[in-house]
Structure 1
Amino acid sequence: MASLPIFITAVANSSDDPAFPLLFTWSTHEAQVKEVLVIPDDEWLDQHKIEQNLHDLDEQQLYEFGFEGSDILAEWTNEFDTDVIYALDPELITTLVNATYDIKGLDPSFEVQSIHHWFEEQGVNLTKALEEQGHHTPLHLLAPDELIIQLLQIAAEHDLIDPNDLIVEE
């Protein structure tokens, strides 16, 4: 079995002009799912606004329940012991990850690549695997935690990770 990679997704401030994250969701090497709201940096808000989004996240929720970028980076430093993490939309996630690191004047210690590429490297066609499950909702329309859980389940079904490692919400 291959080592479980980190899968990541995010919600951006805007679908038309994404500049900074509102939420990050990722998997761990133990197949757990973590999710964190991001308190916007003042510099981000000086240049961009938070638009209405599919997840109804607004500025008040971010300040009330979110975490500072430095806290998120500290957690990632402890958890991301890899050079590559995988995302459905690597360009978008790279933009949002870079914005988070930029507020502290740092560069990411990892690269974001396509989740489709990782599954292909493992001999699994992600689109076909989704169809075989009877899953017809496009992945980009799933809630972030549901997307990560779906990816972990497909990896488990194809013996890429141990199904006993999955923590499935009931």
Structure 2
Amino acid sequence: MASLPIFMTAVANSSDEPAFPLLFTWSTHEAQVKEVLVIPDDEWLENHQIEPNLHDLDEQQLHEFGFEASDILAEWINEFDTDTIYGLEPELLNQLVDATYDIKGLEPSFEVQSIHSWFEERDVNLDDAMAEQGQTTPLHLLPPDELIIQLLQIAAENGLIDPSDIPTVEE
């Protein structure tokens, strides 16, 4: 079986005018789920602010528990051996990934494509699969780690990846 795809999601500083990431969550080729808070760069904060968000992330939390863009990029370079990552909102995710690379003067080593397209290419309608699981919460409203686990579970249930690799969500 091919290596697992990497699914990613992010939380932006603003829902109206997203400019930089507050949080990235992604799956690994080993079906682990990783989540990292992002310390906002001073340059980002000169022109944009962190607005209230569903995850109650604020600047103090980001500085206390977050990681610098360079640390996140180093992890991605070591971990991602693919040129395609899949996200729920690819345009937004591309923008946030670009901001993270750009602040360090680098170009992204991967592009973000639609998670819906990944499933459709494999003859699975993601929305229908979510409904079959009894999931009534829209995908974009799920906590980031639950979203990634849910995507992995749907892929496993449809025979797209090995089910024994998938973590489970604690109910």
Query: Aligning the two structures, in what range does the TM-score lie when normalised by the shorter sequence?
Result: over 0.9
Structure 1 residues 2 and 131: CA distance shift in structure 2, 3 A: farther
In 1: Cα distance, 2:130 partner to 2:64 partner: 36
Report if aligned partners of 2:149, 2:169 keep a CA contact under 8 Å in 1.
Answer: no
Name 2:94's counterpart in structure 1.
Answer: 94
Name 2:154's counterpart in structure 1.
Answer: 154
**CA deviation profile, 1:21-69 (whole Å, cap 9, x unmatched):** 0000000001110000000000000010000000000000000000000
In 2: Cα distance, 1:169 partner to 1:93 partner: 23
Greater RCO, CA 8 A, separation 6+: 1
Name 2:34's counterpart in structure 1.
Answer: 34
1:51 aligns with 2:51: yes
Name 2:168's counterpart in structure 1.
Answer: 168
Q: Specify the code of the residue in structure 2 equivalent to 1:59.
A: E
Report if aligned partners of 1:2, 1:160 keep a CA contact under 8 Å in 2.
Answer: no
In 2: Cα distance, 1:68 partner to 1:140 partner: 25
1:9-158 aligned within 5 A: 9-158=9-158
Deviation at 1:166, TM superposition (A): 1.2
In 2: Cα distance, 1:148 partner to 1:80 partner: 16
Report if aligned partners of 1:9, 1:25 keep a CA contact under 8 Å in 2.
Answer: yes
Unpaired runs of 5+ residues, structure 2, are: none
Runs of 4+ in structure 1 over 4 Å off:
none
Q: Specify the code of the residue in structure 2 equivalent to 1:19.
A: A
Unpaired runs of 5+ residues, structure 1, are: none
Q: How many residues align?
A: 170
Normalised to the residue count of structure 2, the TM-score between the two structures is 0.97
Normalised to the residue count of structure 1, the TM-score between the two structures is 0.98
Deviation at 1:169, TM superposition (A): 4.6
What fraction of aligned residue pairs are identical, expressed as a percent? 80
Name 1:6's counterpart in structure 2.
Answer: 6
Q: Specify the code of the residue in structure 2 equivalent to 1:108.
A: P
SS of aligned partner of 2:53: coil
Root-mean-square deviation over aligned CA pairs: 0.9
SS of aligned partner of 1:54: coil
In 1: Cα distance, 2:2 partner to 2:87 partner: 18
Report if aligned partners of 2:146, 2:169 keep a CA contact under 8 Å in 1.
Answer: no
**CA deviation profile, 1:142-168 (whole Å, cap 9, x unmatched):** 000010010000011011111111122
Q: Specify the code of the residue in structure 2 equivalent to 1:99.
A: A
